[in-house]
Chain A
């Protein structure tokens, strides 16, 4: 009888443990808390004039493969641009130091991520290094705005400062 009671207690203990393990897993692995837990990685820095909807822990991809994540986003008070710290998995230690970082959107409405276009330099990025070439996020609103402006006949070429993003005017 005492044996039986003991096994109940052990079973109950295991159940409670399992429940709390599940809670701990949910709380730490699937929420923003997970941003603080990183494996072996090294940090890089990139400056953007506009990061759009880039969020913490957004993926960092090279050639479409996820190699790290966004660790922090801060504003540089002097230059008034965004400093994005990203942490790259130690496995992907060989990124040429003339690579470019850009903010892309996955799909039309998907989340934004940092894409890295590798350069050709023989030297590799080191821990704490900074991307020299960056391309800011494309704002959907800007695109639409430009499209509307360019499309209207009154102002044919008012905004040509960013030729990369100009859309061909539609009839």
Chain B
């Protein structure tokens, strides 16, 4: 997408969406074949999942602490600080956990997937695989796609757990909320299926979307260093937009 050529941004955007959709079909078709490269998938779960743990855990802790402080302040106006645990956990499970994790994941793992595949394209590694009769869709694209779907919900759960811990730290240890009240309010109003599991579904969808966009951008990037740089930016921008839009749609349908 050169800067001077912008006669129809809408057309370009539509073409991108269409190409991405077709690419999804190709990747899905390659998934059965990619099971032969199971080790590669495992390796990718390590790269996109475990390597994102530090940022996810740190951010989860701080988001939880901020939520604890802010909501304590708001709730204390109504004398309802006892509901702190409930409010924190519900907002984490239903919204913040999946969404923030997806955004962080796009920034951390998504960009590295795009850059890696883009570089493989630029240095002919993908073509070399084709020539060695190894389907890059099955060996490169599908494992990263699957890894994103597997890793995202797990990361979101870790994020949520750390968030609750952070809120507990602030609410109970610092602001003197009763420990039992904190937990009992939470456990009495949080439902496993409606809140926790629905949040997990959300993050599964976000994982699929973010890793699809990342793989697609890397796979279709122009094979130049400039192209790779733009592609990583596009990964973050598109992922963020799509995640937030999809979040709205899923919230409307799921909850």
CA distance A56 to B184 in the complex (A): 8
Q: Decide: B154 and A22 in contact? CB cutoff 8 A.
A: yes
Q: Which residues of chain B come closer than 8 Å to A33, judged between CB atoms?
A: 192
Q: Which residues of chain A come closer than 8 Å to B46, judged between CB atoms?
A: 8, 11-12, 15
Query: With an 8 A cutoff between CB atoms, is A143 at the interface?
Result: no
Chain A, 86-134, CB within 8 A of any chain B CB: 106-111, 113
CA distance A106 to B180 in the complex (A): 13
Q: Decide: B50 and A22 in contact? CB cutoff 8 A.
A: no
Interface size class for chain A?
35 or more
CA distance A35 to B183 in the complex (A): 11
Q: Which residues of chain B come closer than 8 Å to A58, judged between CB atoms?
A: 184, 188
Q: Decide: B157 and A26 in contact? CB cutoff 8 A.
A: yes
Q: Decide: B154 and A16 in contact? CB cutoff 8 A.
A: yes
Of B157, B183, B196, B200, which is in contact with the most chain A CB atoms at under 10 Å from its CB? B157
**Minimal beta-carbon separation of B46 from chain A (angstroms):** 4
CA distance A93 to B188 in the complex (A): 25
Q: Which residues of chain B come closer than 8 Å to A69, judged between CB atoms?
A: 180, 184
Q: Decide: B192 and A23 in contact? CB cutoff 8 A.
A: no
CA distance A15 to B196 in the complex (A): 20
Q: Decide: B181 and A59 in contact? CB cutoff 8 A.
A: yes
Given contacts A33-B192, A109-B79, A110-B82, contact A19 B187 (CB under 8 A): no
Interface stretch among B7-15, B158-166, B231-239? Answer: B158-166
Q: Decide: A18 and B43 in contact? CB cutoff 8 A.
A: no
Given contacts A31-B191, A66-B180, A109-B78, contact A22 B42 (CB under 8 A): no
- What total count of A-B pairs have CB within 8 Å? 126
CA distance A16 to B157 in the complex (A): 11
Write the chain B residue with the least CB distance to A17. Answer: B154
Q: Which residues of chain A come closer than 8 Å to B227, judged between CB atoms?
A: none
CA distance A35 to B160 in the complex (A): 20
Q: Which residues of chain A come closer than 8 Å to B189, judged between CB atoms?
A: 55
Q: Decide: B154 and A30 in contact? CB cutoff 8 A.
A: no
Which of A14, A18, A26, A109 contacts B80 (CB under 8 A)? A109
Given contacts A59-B180, A111-B82, contact A26 B93 (CB under 8 A): yes
Of B46, B79, B153, which is in contact with the most chain A CB atoms at under 10 Å from its CB? B46
Which of B50, B153, B191 contacts A15 (CB under 8 A)? B50
**Minimal beta-carbon separation of A10 from chain B (angstroms):** 9
Chain B, 32-79, CB within 8 A of any chain A CB: 39, 42-43, 45-46, 49-50, 53, 78-79
Query: With an 8 A cutoff between CB atoms, is B89 at the interface?
Result: yes
Q: Decide: B188 and A26 in contact? CB cutoff 8 A.
A: no
Q: Decide: B188 and A111 in contact? CB cutoff 8 A.
A: yes
Q: Which residues of chain A come closer than 8 Å to B220, judged between CB atoms?
A: none
Query: With an 8 A cutoff between CB atoms, is B170 at the interface?
Result: no
CA distance A56 to B187 in the complex (A): 9
Q: Which residues of chain A come closer than 8 Å to B186, judged between CB atoms?
A: 30-31
Sample (19) of A-B pairs whose CB atoms are under 8 Å apart: A8-B43, A9-B42, A15-B45, A15-B50, A18-B53, A18-B158, A20-B157, A22-B157, A23-B154, A27-B196, A32-B190, A34-B187, A58-B188, A59-B181, A106-B181, A109-B79, A110-B82, A111-B82, A111-B181
